[in-house]
Amino acid sequence: MSNALLKISNLSAEFKTEKGLFPAISGVDLTINKGEILCIVGESGSGKTVASLSLMQLIPAAGKITSGEIMFEGRDLLKIKKKEMSRIRGKSIAMIFQDPMMALDPVYTCGNQIIEAVRIYEQMSYSSAFNKAVELLKQVGIPHPERCMNAYPHELSGGMCQRISIAMALSCNPKLLIADEPTTALDVTVQAQILELLKKIRKEMNMSIMLITHDLGVVAEMADRVAVMYAGKVMEEGDVRSIFRYPQHPYTQGLIKSIPHMDQKNKKLYSIDGTVPSISSMPNGCRFSPRCPDAADICEQKEPAMVQANENCKVRCWKQDHEWREGEAG
Ligand SMILES: Nc1ncnc2c1ncn2[C@@H]1O[C@H](COP(=O)(O)OP(=O)(O)O)[C@@H](O)[C@H]1O
Ligand SMILES: [Mg+2]
């Protein structure tokens, strides 16, 4: 039996821009197993947010899903009714964002918002909902839960607000939590605490987490498996050890080389030359080829397919495509 909770195949979505319609993600395949943390990593503009919003069917009005299959608990989420999808969003898949203030309503106390969340899908009296809200606040490490119930979001720090938005996400016992850059807006120490909290709840609730980040430090800390995205495509996917020890894609190699080290104090930091292309000006062939230190002619002409590089890793790179390499040699 497969251990997959969610299996995304060939997911594509396009956006309307001033220059026309362009794909923002193309042919994305992703799998999340039960109880696993999958990190999606890539520079800003790689399509990470579009991929997660497409999965939730929450992409902005200018965008449209153009192909794909999203299998979750035996059903294709792209084929079910809107009403059912919104139930899944409330109950089985929850989401937290970079700015916790966005998820919280400034005019209600934190307590009221969590109580609301608790009572959406479960009929219960106010007092049991209140007690459950306090329990949730304890679970996410809020020091004085009762006091916090009466506080308004603006009275709390960013870290506390993120804890509250996590409490709200947990209120329905989701099977999957999607966290889009949940610590990017926080101080480093608070960032570490929130990451610890996510690990704790994954363990306690045997939840799966899709953690989106541009920070490889977060990936190293959190991931079981990693998908590296670039310009709307998954370029490499594998288990976290294999990604860090034996990165196969020149893009992944560049990202890893760009991680600052203590002992490099006086040396110049490495960075990958150039920037992520905009959706209206995707290069031909491999999308990374204009920035790739290893690009060959074929890389600029034909798009590589995803191939199995080794037991633990798949990669979309001509360097790894044995069929081509054998053809070249022969
Ligand atoms: N509403 C939109 N309209 C047009 N283009 C968009 C819109 N949202 C995202 N994009 C484009 O899609 C690409 C992927 O964006 P995004 O998923 O936000 O990247 P990431 O989350 O990896 O930083 C970018 O080129 C971005 O400009
Ligand atoms: Mg994003």
Check which CATH number belongs to the domain holding 9 and give it.
3.40.50.300
Render pLDDT for 4-55 as a digit per residue (tens, 0 to 9). 999 999 999 999 999 999 999 999 999 999 999 999 999 999 999 999 999 9
pLDDT class of 323 with cuts at 50, 70, 90: low
Closest residue by Cα to atom 17, ligand 1, is 47
By the 10 Å C-beta count (0-12 exposed, 13-18 middle, 19+ buried), 311 is classed as exposed
The answer to the question of residue 99 being in a domain is: no
Residue list, ligand 1 pocket, CB within 6 Å: 15, 17, 24, 42, 44-50, 60, 62-63, 278-279
CA–CA separation, 85 and 58 (whole Å):
10
Mean of the pLDDT values across residues 208-217?
97
In a domain, 98, yes or no: no
Q: What is the pLDDT of residue 197?
A: 97
Do 148 and 194 lie in a common domain? Answer: no
231, 261: one domain: yes
What are the phi and psi torsion angles at 25 (to 5°)? -135, 145
Ligand 2 midpoint to CA 62 (Å): 16
The C-alpha atoms of residue 25 and residue 46 are separated, in whole angstroms, by 8
Q: For position 320, what pLDDT does the model report?
A: 86
Minimal-distance CA residue to ligand 1 atom 3 = 15
* Domain limit, last residue, from 125, 157, 173: 173
CA distance 300 to 284: 6
Domain's final residue, options 150, 173, 196: 173
Whole-number percent of the chain with pLDDT over 90? 89
The model's confidence at residue 101, banded by pLDDT at 50, 70 and 90, is: confident
Span 125-177, pLDDT tens digits: 999 999 999 999 999 999 999 999 999 999 999 999 999 999 999 998 999 99
Give dist(CA 207, CA 36) in Å, integer: 7
pLDDT of residue 178: 98
Per-residue confidence band for 330, with pLDDT thresholds at 50, 70 and 90? very low
Ligand 1 atom with the shortest distance to the CA of 42: 22
Q: What is the mean pLDDT of the chain?
A: 94
Structure tokens that stand for 80 in this block: 């079910």
- Do 87 and 136 lie in one domain? The reply is no
Tokens of 225: 């498996």
Report the C-alpha gap between 74 and 92 in whole angstroms.
Answer: 13
Q: Is residue 288 part of a domain?
A: yes
**Residue 289 included in any domain:** yes
| DSSP 8-state symbol, 36 | -
Q: Is the pLDDT of residue 261 over 90?
A: no
Question: Do 229 and 286 belong to one domain?
Answer: yes
Contacts for 122 with CB less than 8 Å, ≥ 6 apart = 172
Domain boundary among 132, 158, 173: 173
Is 256 part of a structural domain of the chain?
Answer: yes
Asked if residues 77 and 55 have their Cβ atoms less than 8 Å apart, the reply is yes
- 192 and 276, same structural domain? yes
- Looking up tokens 């905009």 gives 278
pLDDT of residue 268: 82
- Cβ(321)–Cβ(327) below 8 Å: no
Distance from the CA of 45 to the center of ligand 2, in angstroms?
7
Could you tell me if 162 and 194 lie in one domain?
A: no
In a domain, 97, yes or no: no
Is the pLDDT reported for residue 60 higher than 70?
Answer: yes
pLDDT attached to residue 265: 72
Domain enclosing residue 198, as ranges: 4-92+174-329
Which residue's alpha carbon is at the smallest distance from atom 18 of ligand 1? 49
8 A C-beta contact, residue 185 and residue 192:
no
Q: State the total domains in the chain.
A: 2
User: Which three-class secondary structure state does DSSP give residue 151?
Assistant: coil
In a domain, 85, yes or no: yes
Cα–ligand 2 centroid distance for 47 (angstroms): 7
Same domain, 184 and 253: yes
Say yes or no: 208 and 66 in one domain. Answer: yes
Q: Do 124 and 185 reside in the same domain of the chain? A: no
Q: Which residues of 142-169 are buried (b: 16+ CB within 10 A; e: fewer)?
A: beebeebbebebeebebbbbbbbbbbbb
Residues 228 and 268 reside in one and the same domain: yes
H or E element that contains 180: strand 176-180
Residues 255 and 320 in one domain: yes
**Measuring from atom 8 of ligand 1, which residue has the nearest CA?**
50
Non-local (6+) Cβ contacts of 214 within 8 A are 41, 42, 43, 44, 48, 181, 184
Q: What is the 25 CA–ligand 2 centroid distance (Å)?
A: 12
Tell me, yes or no, whether 195 and 258 share the same domain: yes
Cα of 210 to ligand 2 centre, how many Å? 13
- Tell whether the model's pLDDT for residue 325 goes beyond 70: no
Rounded CA separation 194/166 (Å): 9
For residue 283, the number of C-alpha atoms closer than 13 Å in the C-beta half-sphere is: 21
Rounded Cα distance, 219 and 221, in Å: 5
